[in-house]
Structure 1
Amino acid sequence: MKKYNVEDVLSSFSFSVPIQVRFSDIDSYMHVNNGIFFNYFEHARASYLFEFCGWDILKTGTVVANVQIDYRQPIHVMDKPTVYVKCIKIGKSSFILEQVVMGPTESGEVKIFAESETTMVAVDMDTMKPVPVPAEYAAKMLGESSKKA
């Protein structure tokens, strides 16, 4: 998984989703619980597929095959995180998304909070078996500097 810096994220990701840190996200250590990061990444992935790609999950679904997360900085309640998403590789039925949670802290300093790499698999919604990544979605993901496997 690539380690990004703030400038890399701003210059190489074309899709992002702001995240509202909720009080219920905060654990007894007074920062966002590590498990909540999965929710942030999931929300951003779903938004990317629906908003950016126009993915119709009623025709072709997606399932998560693998998730890796590197935690770099805790998120606190007054921080303003945004999740950035891009596709880095497309195979026959799978594709890999890179995601970065980044944003200003309460003091205004922009920090990278976490990075994730997720392998997704396109599936037939009736059989839940892998199917090729639909060409119209692959074209949109590839159009943002992705590379075909």
Structure 2
Amino acid sequence: MTESLPAHLVGFPFIHWLEVRFRDLDVLGHVNNSVYATYLESTRIEFYHHLTGLPLEKLNIILAELTIKYKAPAFYKDTLGVGIKVASFGSKSFAMEYAIVRPADDMVVATARSVLVMYDYTLNKTVHIPDEFKRRVEEVQGPVGKH
């Protein structure tokens, strides 16, 4: 995006840009509520890759909770910026916050919060968040609180 960052995305260390596709729409012509979860998922994956450089299958993270607050509709061909940041760390889980913003009018389309759990698929159990992951997050976005 060549224009200046929309005000509502300032403070997010990572922005994923996307364009609303025709297939994202519902019968009323705006983005269907379920599609926002996919937008958030795509943003999370890109953010993880930015943080770790690891391929998706090596991330060992499971989505445990997702809450989305819908603020305004988005429409076909809208460009949306999805801001993401780690909000807090626990010992085995961490919370993330998001804002989905339409830069054309700096409208907040939705906000969201998720909780993710570190998981070892070989052992089939939750594990502690690696210090290296915490360090990298704080390197990219600054200090993160605890939950």
Q: TM-score range by the shorter chain?
A: 0.7 to 0.9
Counterpart in the other structure of 2:118: 122
4+ long deviations beyond 2 Å: 6-9, 52-60
Structure-2 separation of matches of 1:24 and 1:127: 39
Structure-1 separation of matches of 2:55 and 2:78: 33
TM-score of the superposed pair, with normalisation by structure 2: 0.87
SS at match of 1:81: strand
Q: Is residue 50 of structure 2 the alignment partner of residue 51 of structure 1?
A: yes
Distance 1:40 1:18, change over 3 A: same
Structure-2 separation of matches of 1:53 and 1:13: 18
Would you say the 8 A contact 2:45–2:56 is kept in 1?
no
Counterpart in the other structure of 1:66: 65
Letter of the 1:122 counterpart: M
Distance 1:23 1:133, change over 3 A: same
Q: Is residue 134 of structure 2 the alignment partner of residue 135 of structure 1?
A: no
SS at match of 2:126: coil
Structure-2 separation of matches of 1:75 and 1:86: 22
Counterpart in the other structure of 1:85: 84
SS at match of 1:35: helix
What fraction of aligned residue pairs are identical, expressed as a percent?
A: 26
**How far is the alpha carbon of 1:60 from its aligned partner?**
4.6
Question: Which blocks of at least 5 consecutive residues in structure 1 are unaligned?
Answer: 1-5
Letter of the 2:7 counterpart: E
Over residues 76-133 of structure 1, what are the superposed CA-to-partner deviations in whole Å (9 max), with x where a residue is unaligned?
A: 01311011110010111100110111123xxx31211000100000000213311011
Would you say the 8 A contact 1:142–1:148 is kept in 2?
no
Question: Which blocks of at least 5 consecutive residues in structure 2 are unaligned?
Answer: 1-5
Over residues 4-27 of structure 1, what are the superposed CA-to-partner deviations in whole Å (9 max), with x where a residue is unaligned?
A: xx63531x1110110121110011
Q: Is residue 35 of structure 2 the alignment partner of residue 36 of structure 1?
A: yes
TM-score of the superposed pair, with normalisation by structure 1: 0.86
Counterpart in the other structure of 1:3: none
Would you say the 8 A contact 2:8–2:99 is kept in 1?
no
Structure-1 separation of matches of 2:58 and 2:18: 28
